[in-house]
């Protein structure tokens, strides 16, 4: 029983203490660091303006892989966390807001008093949709230093 317990403790400790490879982006002026872990969905732009979206894989200390595309860390122009679900919510809010504004136009043509309410609601929905996915900013090479941390 003692061997079984020590084996279970060993497996649990290696799981919790195992290191995850990360890419660190440090701001040149403030020194604030932002980390991108392996397996996160990112959007990367290279120095030759090639854009790649997919899961981040760290191959070695100088190479990243996104969608089977190898990118040297020296060739990295910008990186951004790019979640899949955020864009869906944004598109739904923008579409709903546009539909409400179109409905307000139809109601205004009919001289209905509810036209202004639909217009105000549609405008608020579009503004909310525009702000939903703007929390992840693009980290540009001009302002950030990139390095891989293990």
For the chain, what is the mean pLDDT?
A: 84
What pLDDT score was predicted for residue 122?
92
11, containing H or E segment: helix 2-17
Question: Domain boundaries in the chain?
Answer: 19-83+136-149, 85-132
7 pLDDT tier (thresholds 50, 70, 90): low
Q: Is the pLDDT of residue 12 over 70?
A: no
Q: What is the mean pLDDT of residues 106-115?
A: 86
- pTM attached to this predicted model: 0.61
Average pLDDT over residues 113-119: 88
Q: Is 71 exposed, middle or buried (0-12, 13-18, 19+ CB in 10 A)?
A: buried
d(CA 57, CA 21): 9
């Amino acid at each position: 029983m003692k061997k079984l317990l020590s084996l279970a403790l060993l497996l649990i400790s290696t799981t919790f203490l195992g290191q995850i490879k990360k890419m660190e982006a440090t701001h040149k002026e403030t020194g604030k660091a932002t980390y991108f872990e392996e397996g996160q969905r990112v959007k990367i732009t290279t120095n030759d303006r090639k854009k790649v979206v997919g899961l981040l894989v760290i191959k070695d200390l100088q190479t990243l892989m996104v969608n089977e595309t190898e990118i040297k860390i020296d060739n990295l122009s910008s990186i951004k966390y790019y979640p899949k679900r955020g864009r869906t919510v944004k598109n739904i809010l923008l579409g709903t807001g546009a539909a409400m504004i179109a409905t307000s136009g139809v109601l205004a043509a009919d001289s209905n008093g509810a036209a202004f309410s639909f217009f105000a609601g549609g405008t608020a929905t579009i503004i909310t949709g525009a702000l939903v996915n703007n929390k992840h900013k693009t980290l540009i090479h001009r302002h950030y230093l990139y390095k891989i941390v293990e």
